Structure 1
Amino acid sequence: MNENATYFEINDAVHWHFFHRTWAMITPYWRGEEKGTAWLLLAAVVGLSLFSVAVSVWITHWYKDFYNALEKKDTVAFWQLIVYFGGIATIAILGAVYRLNLTQMLTIRWRAWLTEKHFARWLSNKNYYQLEQGGYTDNPDQRISEDLNNFTSSTLSLGLGLLRNVISLISFSIILWSVSGSIEVCGIIIPGYMFWCALLYAAVGSWLTHLIGRCLISLSNQQQRCEADLRFSMVRVRENAESIALYNGEPNEKQRLSTHCNKVWHNFWEIMKVSKRLTFFTAGYSQIAIIFPFMVAAPRYFTGQIKLGELMQINSAFSNVQENFSWFISAYSELASWRATSDRLLSFHQAMSDNEQRTPAIDVYPEAERLIVKNLGMHLGDGRRLLTNAGMTVEPGQRVMLSGRSGSGKSTLLRAMGHLWPLGHGSIRLPAARYLFLPQKPYLPIGPLKSVLSYPQDDSVYPDERYKQVLATCRLPHLVMRLDEANHWQHILSPGEQQRLAFTRALLFAPQWLYIDEATSAMDEEDEATLYQALIDELPGLSIVSVGHRSSLKRFHGRHIRIESGLLQESRNTF
């Protein structure tokens, strides 16, 4: 008994926590800058939903008059009621069309607002990087695009559907109570007995539906994850097509894709089995609901207590009351999908919150004229140490080269300077000056070449003549005529061209401090020397911190610091 009580208490706490967090995800839009338009659209949609309930009640009364006319064989009344129904149907169609149209308008506005907010948060505090590196959440692209779309449409659909069902339930319950009369069972008179029959029928059906289909929530969540993993794997093949082709890696990639496909099919098969059992029950439940009110009300009709019109009105009212009571049954699959979508969005929010609230282990902030690394320790996720209480100081205008064995922590040190490495201790005081990082593999956004060159700034910042100058300086004169061409440059340019293009960014941006992480690894020594010399000549006073292996780089740096045994050990160049 105590174990059961504990189970239900935990279960209730979990559900309450879920709804509390989901409510916190829903409400900002309705309190934000678009709240006026949002509430106006919602009021219009709710009004049209209530109007559709009124039309349904209207049709129920029409049923009574229509079937009574049929029973009396009243031709004049029959045709009058046919024309009357045409008017009701016209009004109902107009209401349905505009209710759908305004609901879609509200959905897309809400989705656009949520998407913009999620974009902003995902791209702030380095969330997009840390979540990917730490494996805190999978497929953020799907969560922002598909899950937000499903969340907004399902929330409005389920919320408005529930509201409409409540209003409809109240309206038709009044009708059903008034027309169903009383029945005596074991000497007890039960007023409005048809209402109680509908309530009991729906309650039993809802309970059985939940027992049969409750695992759909976890299966739906898993299905979305498997589908997203499959899509991401196919994108990886597209992005790395050349490397895969040169490796002849097609069999390996086919095996990977087949593994993801098998997970999709297996999980979908489980969903099919549950859906099959659920559909068996819900379909049977719906079919029995057609004849159930006739079976219960027929004795009163055969004894002459009610006419055919009243019988049909009872059937219509009972069907509506039973359907409204059974909203949970009809909406169960959508509720399961909505719960799974909400869980995925909530876990995404939680991962971003965890990253935002995490206190940086390495204290990094700009506040000085020089670069100061003090008592710096860094380690990998598996605990392997890279640096132990290391330190160095770089004065403005100095050019420093960092070297060391592969895996010694050179690139990781630059990541720490860029606020990207959370594991370790100590402090890094960055110069409070204009700076730029050049990674080994530059990012080239899809678009006009000018936008690629000026990234992360807008391409209107520099005149066309300046673009042509830096392209010529960085040995890319063949791209001068393609400045306005939009393309996928990462697929068009060679690795060496991409790295030379990154140097054009440095010349355009003209930083005071430049951090270079093996950004010439795909170039020959002649190109490398030309580009370093261009930086020195065109950006006088530039401070450079370079990570590199080649000895040819040493002549462009006045200081050489090597990572050995977890320490930053300095040796003076003799060039």
Structure 2
Amino acid sequence: MARKPKHRPETNKHLNRFKYTQDQAIEKPFNWAQMVRLLKYVKPYTRRLLPISIIAMLVSTIVRLVVPILIGKVAIDIAIAENNTNLLIQLVVGIAILYVLSYIGNALRIKYVNILGQNVIYDLRQHLFSHVQRLSHKFFDSRSAGSILVRIMNDINSLQELFTNGIINLLMDIVMLTGIVVILFALSPKLALAILVIMPLMFYISTKLRRNIRRSWQDVRIQQSRLNSHLNESLQGVRITQSFSQETENAEYFNGINTDNFQSWNTATRKSAMFRPFVEMSNAVGTVILISYGAFLILQGDIEIGTFVSFAFFLGMFWEPISRLGQVYNQLLMAMAASERIFEFLDEQPNVQEKVNAQDLSDMKGHIEFDQVQFAYDEKRIALHNISLEMKQGETVALVGHTGSGKSTIANLISRFYDPTKGAVKIDGTDLQDATIDSVRQQISVVLQDTFIFSGTIMENVRFGRPTASDEEVIEAAKVVGADDFISRLNSGYETEVEERGSILSAGERQLLSFARALLADPRILILDEATASIDTETEMKIQQALRRLLKGRTAIIIAHRLSTIREADSIYVLEHGKILEHGSHDQLMDQEGEYFELIKAQFQMLDAI
């Protein structure tokens, strides 16, 4: 039995950060149109797996419907009544053969339905992940990694039972119920009507539960999303938590969210469990009616004892599929809650749209123009104000300015992670909105301050820049940027396994790997966004020569504060609040003694203070 938490702190303040728009309750009626959309994922398997499953299900169902008739009408009313031993033996053998067929049918049904279900889940998860991968940065700006993880893992997992058992069980139970009702009315319409009189009441009561049950399962999904978001955030930030001794506070934080998750599951399961008692109550009422009214009809001579026995068999069989239908209905409710959340992501369209007739920039030179570009992340935050600038092919251009001045926004627009609100960003004279996204990004490499290292070997991480590269090309790229020195000192060299985010490597070593990855990609445009900020002075001196080789022949955009990184740039743009204040070479800007001069002066004063 689940234990209720002893202490539940006030959680409203804890949940504020989890109020993402996609995690609010989706108030829509239960509609079969959405279920039909979900069932479309079964379509690729309708020619092979589904027919076998349905045939196997029909065989086992027909056997179950035939056996009670054989027992009641043939065994009791004929064989036993007439003392026909041979017929009775034949009947026993026949029923045994039918049960063997039923066993084979059930085995095939379970096997092929599970294969079908796992294939459907695989396809759905693959589709969702591939779709999310193509969404724009704006989509990820307003969602935590944990909430996205819930959609791809938990919500799709909740559909597994529906596809592996629910759908075929639903068909089986419908066939079973239809067959039983037809047979009951064929045997005795009076007794059938008397037994089934409870059905309208049962249907009315069950429909009253649907809305509440569905909302409860929606709430479960929301609470799981919040729980996963917090877990993801806590595990990634565990070092910060420990450094500030916030373990207790974080545990209380988790306790509040975990309690809400606990309570949502309790509520949903309690409401769902209410359906089965109604079925059992109906079964009890039906049994009472069968015994009392059935005995009366026997005494009146309207039915035979064999018919009564068949009714008793069918009555037990009748409430079983109804009970299962209640379970299937709960599965449908869970599937509806999950599919609403899954389709919400699948219906999400990238903010950066590719035109149907977009052209391929396969032979990019690297000449960049910003023509009166304005960009806003939202209505209240304009990042760039009518920016016009030019970066010629092969030039190294530095962007400097205080935090929030718009430097990284310019880099994001060049990579077309966002589209400008107004104006145009052009490469080689082509508006990026007229070009295919892949052809643009495949020829641009970005090196960030907080570089990401994937779980795997160092060789695999560097090769991520160009998956088709040979081992020799990977090693050569590492040598050019000076990463080969530290890699060679590792026990397994390039085959050294690095953990998630490269935690076994220093910040400088991770940055060197990102340089090697960028060089291996052989881009026409290279963007360095504070790429040397995590590298110590000694390491930076070692890679200056490598950077010259890396930048040679490429258009390079450098976002940095360090003088050593930007002084050799062909052109420097000084930005402030999304506007260009100054533009020129290092010497030209120093002679002007303007904003750039003050930035450099402040940097030297800081170094002197150190």
Q: TM-score, normalised by structure 2?
A: 0.79
Instruction: Say if 2:498 is the partner of 1:487.
Output: yes
Rounded to whole Å, the distance in 2 between the matches of 1:322 and 1:275 is 17
Instruction: Say if 2:267 is the partner of 1:270.
Output: yes
Which deviations, in whole Å up to 9, do the C-alpha atoms of 1:534-575 show, x marking residues without a partner?
121355222210111222322231221111243123132129
Structure 1 counterpart of 2:69? 61
Rounded to whole Å, the distance in 2 between the matches of 1:20 and 1:357 is 28
Q: Residue 316 of structure 1 is aligned with which of 309, 313, 318?
A: 313
Moved more, 251-260 or 51-60: 251-260
Is the contact made by 2:448 and 2:531 (CA closer than 8 Å) also made in structure 1?
A: yes
Quick one: structure 1 residues 412 and 178, their matched pair in 2 at CA, closer, same or farther if it must change by over 3 Å? same
Structure 2 counterpart of 1:353? 349
Structure 2 counterpart of 1:120? 130
Structure 2 counterpart of 1:463? 471
Quick one: structure 1 residues 194 and 439, their matched pair in 2 at CA, closer, same or farther if it must change by over 3 Å? farther
Instruction: Say if 2:392 is the partner of 1:395.
Output: yes
Please, which runs of 5 or more residues in structure 1 have no aligned partner?
1-12, 181-191
Structure 1 counterpart of 2:604? none
The CA deviation at 1:178 is: 1.9
Q: Residue 552 of structure 1 is aligned with which of 564, 576, 596?
A: 564
Rounded to whole Å, the distance in 1 between the matches of 2:320 and 2:270 is 25
Instruction: Say if 2:261 is the partner of 1:250.
Output: no
Structure 1 counterpart of 2:118? 108
Moved more, 494-503 or 535-544: 535-544
Is the contact made by 2:399 and 2:559 (CA closer than 8 Å) also made in structure 1?
A: yes
Rounded to whole Å, the distance in 2 between the matches of 1:294 and 1:358 is 71
Is the contact made by 1:411 and 1:517 (CA closer than 8 Å) also made in structure 2?
A: yes
- SS for the counterpart of 1:541 is coil
Quick one: structure 1 residues 73 and 48, their matched pair in 2 at CA, closer, same or farther if it must change by over 3 Å? same
Quick one: structure 1 residues 382 and 469, their matched pair in 2 at CA, closer, same or farther if it must change by over 3 Å? closer
Is the contact made by 2:383 and 2:578 (CA closer than 8 Å) also made in structure 1?
A: yes
Structure 2 counterpart of 1:7? none
The CA deviation at 1:90 is: 2.3
Rounded to whole Å, the distance in 2 between the matches of 1:264 and 1:423 is 41
Is the contact made by 1:301 and 1:308 (CA closer than 8 Å) also made in structure 2?
A: yes
Calculate the aligned-residue CA RMSD, in Å.
Answer: 3.2
- SS for the counterpart of 2:556 is strand
Q: Residue 152 of structure 2 is aligned with which of 140, 144, 151?
A: 144
Structure 1 counterpart of 2:463? 454
Structure 1 counterpart of 2:39? 26
Is the contact made by 2:508 and 2:539 (CA closer than 8 Å) also made in structure 1?
A: no
Structure 1 counterpart of 2:182? 174
- SS for the counterpart of 1:521 is coil
Quick one: structure 1 residues 165 and 25, their matched pair in 2 at CA, closer, same or farther if it must change by over 3 Å? closer
The CA deviation at 1:395 is: 0.4
Quick one: structure 1 residues 469 and 344, their matched pair in 2 at CA, closer, same or farther if it must change by over 3 Å? closer
Structure 1 counterpart of 2:583? 570
Please, which runs of 5 or more residues in structure 2 have no aligned partner?
1-26, 429-439, 589-610
Is the contact made by 1:400 and 1:557 (CA closer than 8 Å) also made in structure 2?
A: yes
Instruction: Say if 2:338 is the partner of 1:341.
Output: yes
Q: Residue 519 of structure 1 is aligned with which of 526, 531, 543?
A: 531
Rounded to whole Å, the distance in 1 between the matches of 2:371 and 2:480 is 41
Rounded to whole Å, the distance in 1 between the matches of 2:168 and 2:427 is 54
Structure 2 counterpart of 1:405? 402
The CA deviation at 1:100 is: 0.3
Is the contact made by 1:442 and 1:502 (CA closer than 8 Å) also made in structure 2?
A: yes
The CA deviation at 1:161 is: 2.7
Structure 1 counterpart of 2:377? 380
Quick one: structure 1 residues 400 and 463, their matched pair in 2 at CA, closer, same or farther if it must change by over 3 Å? same
- SS for the counterpart of 2:159 is helix
Is the contact made by 1:399 and 1:543 (CA closer than 8 Å) also made in structure 2?
A: yes
What amino acid does structure 1 have at the position aligned with 2:118? Answer: I
Quick one: structure 1 residues 538 and 57, their matched pair in 2 at CA, closer, same or farther if it must change by over 3 Å? closer
Structure 2 counterpart of 1:96? 106
The CA deviation at 1:403 is: 1.0
The CA deviation at 1:156 is: 5.9
Which deviations, in whole Å up to 9, do the C-alpha atoms of 1:449-473 show, x marking residues without a partner?
1110121422x51333751662474
The CA deviation at 1:402 is: 0.6
What amino acid does structure 2 have at the position aligned with 1:173? Answer: V
Q: TM-score, normalised by structure 1?
A: 0.84
- SS for the counterpart of 1:377 is strand
Structure 1 counterpart of 2:20? none
Structure 1 counterpart of 2:23? none
The CA deviation at 1:159 is: 3.2
The CA deviation at 1:445 is: 1.5
What amino acid does structure 2 have at the position aligned with 1:97? Answer: A
Rounded to whole Å, the distance in 1 between the matches of 2:416 and 2:295 is 77
Q: Residue 436 of structure 1 is aligned with which of 417, 426, 445?
A: 445
What amino acid does structure 2 have at the position aligned with 1:353? Answer: Q
Rounded to whole Å, the distance in 2 between the matches of 1:272 and 1:151 is 17
The CA deviation at 1:496 is: 1.9
Is the contact made by 1:131 and 1:137 (CA closer than 8 Å) also made in structure 2?
A: no
Is the contact made by 2:366 and 2:555 (CA closer than 8 Å) also made in structure 1?
A: no
Aligned length: 538
What amino acid does structure 2 have at the position aligned with 1:262? Answer: T
Identity of aligned residues (%): 17
Rounded to whole Å, the distance in 1 between the matches of 2:146 and 2:455 is 24
Q: How does 1:150-165 map to 2 (within 5 A)?
A: 150-151=158-159, 153-155=161-163, 157-165=165-173
Is the contact made by 2:454 and 2:461 (CA closer than 8 Å) also made in structure 1?
A: yes
Structure 1 counterpart of 2:9? none
